[in-house]
Amino acid sequence: MKKVILITGASSGMGKESAKKLIGEGHRVYTVARRIDQMQDLKELGGIPMQMDVTNENDIQRVVDAIVKQEGKIDVLWNNAGFGLYGSVEDVPLDEARREFEVNVFGMAAMTQKVVPYMREAKSGTIINTSSMGGKMYFPMGAWYHASKHAVEGLSDCLRLELKPFNVNVVVLEPGFIATEFGSVLLNNFAKIRPDSAYREMMDKIIEGTKKSSEGNGSSKPSVIADAISKIVTSNSPKTRYRVANLPSQWFGCGRIWAMSYLTKSS
């Protein structure tokens, strides 16, 4: 059965690749992002791109109202918008940390609050929340990002229990390192950290691993996410979690293991 699907963060990477697949499968796919100009190719394929900022509740309400007016329902909400913020807890400005949570957690929650009433009334629907393998583990320099994804995990698990009586599924997507803009955004955030940081040596090691992964040596293609999303969308009883792709060895070699070794030697 063809579904009405709403995808946030669909202007690039996992969201865009998955939207292409879902459109090709005949679903009605609404794609939203701040950069609507980067979704024109989806429009040409038959998607319906709309400009929206997940941190703006008026934007969210406008989009949800328009879809429900046109389609009468929303079958699937994929909360995919998010970004990575890396740097030490000491160095990262709190305003940037708050922005991380506004997008990764509160933006997701705002979308959910606007869509759930329609799913609950219909006693049908699926909500997919993009977490990360980082929502279950941790690395140095990733406190704010990992904290936001740990929050996504906890919020999703509670939401699942709340919506079970209404036959609404809540699925957590846990990607590994995917070949998207994530790596470059992460590196840009590292570049903002002051050069005299006490954590410079540790950051340099993680930057090294991130660069190698971003260049394709260990990251997975976005198509693996698209395949997983397609399975979730068409399943009557999807799993609660889908872990897709692996963390590249560079992250373990230059990240957590190096840091733990460093801390052991320092103790």
CA-based diameter of the chain, in Å? 62
Residue 145 makes CB contacts below 8 A (sequence gap 6+) with: 84, 85, 86, 100, 104, 132, 134
Q: Kindly name the residue from 18, 88, 131, 214 that is annotated as catalytic.
A: 131
Nearest to 255 by CA among 190, 209, 187: 209
Give yes or no: 11 in active site.
yes
Which one of 11, 88, 132, 148 is the catalytic residue?
A: 11
Q: In this structure, what are the phi and psi dihedrals at residue 126, rounded to the nearest 5 degrees?
A: -135, 130
Which DSSP letter does residue 175 get?
E
Does 118 qualify as catalytic in the annotation?
Answer: no
* Burial tier of 106 (Cβ tally within 10 Å: 0-12, 13-18, 19+): middle
Active site residue 131: yes
- What type of residue is 218? G
70 CB burial (10 A radius; 0-12, 13-18, 19+): exposed
**16, 21, 149, 205: the active-site residue:** 149
Among residues 30, 118, 145, 242, the one annotated as catalytic is 145
Q: How far is CA 247 from CA 138, 176, 196, 259, in A?
A: 12, 5, 29, 16
**179 to 62, 222, 246: CA distances (angstroms):** 32, 6, 12
Positive or negative torsion for Cα 252, 254, 256, 262: positive
Residue 145 a catalytic site member: yes
Cβ neighbours for 266, distance < 8 A, ≥ 6 positions apart: none
> Catalytic residues, which ones?
11, 131, 145, 149
